[in-house]
Amino acid sequence: MIVQDKNVIREITPLSEKDCFYIADRRKSEFTYPMHCHKEFELNFVINASGVLRIVGDSAEVIGDYDLVLITSPDLEHVWEQHECKSTDVREITIQFSPQFMKTLLATNQFDRISKMFDKAQNGICFPTTAIMKVYSILDKLPDTKGFYAVTSFLTLLYELSMFTDEARVLSSSSFAKIKQHSDSRRVQKVQDYINQHYKEEIRLGQLADMVGMTEVSFSRFFKLRTGKTLQDYITDIRLGYALRMLVDTTMSIAEICYESGFNNLSNFNRIFKKKKMVSPKDFRSNYKKKRILI
């Protein structure tokens, strides 16, 4: 069941309070479900659907024959669209489970790996093929497994996937997903928090380096090592995420969004946007809102 509120389709899932999880095993020839979000965590596995367009937050990618995604944010919109898929024999296994079901377990040492995986999956994560091959037999049999053994198989599935957390690729930007980033490094965390609070302003390398007591050269190397991005790329991605969210959620003009998200030049904003998203801000807004319409 789906309900629409302020243009956002929020799914009411079949999961009851007495269920640990809900699983749907579908054989299909096309993808017709609209973009949506829901409070439950979701693990979605698609096989034999090469050419399908997967959208999670501000990430849009054409998938191959295998696709396995975990989403643990209640407000992160997602959809799998037909796009260029020609297959008439697609299999989709969707597992939805309540955060409350996992709450007590995640507080234990034995579930620390799964807890870290869930934190990362707030942005949506896509697992590598090696992870899919590792858990394929569990996924394949889980829809037909009942009772207690279904629960133990499901927990085993989560644990096996948690071994690939570092290799799993983040999909949506944190600023679009409205998720606060966490770092094991207190210095990186301090800088990230500052950037999130001051992304509309001019941010200088020397200013951040002084903040954590490092030289500019040392800080630049340290930051890239810890985040995988240069400082400038990181700031640009944060600003772009906020811009994307405003394009989706507001009626502000492109120029207003440009300056409100920290870009001080409209032509530069349009150039960066098109380079990152392959479409103009105007087309992104139009396409995204069409996908949110209830059909």
Residues 282 and 290 sit within 8 Å (Cβ to Cβ) = no
State the fold for domain 175-292.
Arc Repressor Mutant, subunit A (1.10.10)
Segment 3-54, tens digit of pLDDT: 444 455 666 566 666 778 899 999 999 998 888 888 899 999 999 999 999 9
Could you identify the residue written with the tokens 């811009």? Answer: 243
Segment 108-161, tens digit of pLDDT: 788 899 999 999 999 999 999 999 999 999 999 999 999 899 999 999 999 999
**CATH code of domain 2-170:** 2.60.120.10
Residues 231 and 240 sit within 8 Å (Cβ to Cβ) = no
Distance CA 222, CA 125 (A): 25
Q: Which DSSP string corresponds to 76-92?
A: --EEEE-TT---S-EEE
pTM (two decimals)? 0.78
Would you kindly state where each structural domain of the chain is located, as residue ranges?
A: 2-170, 175-292
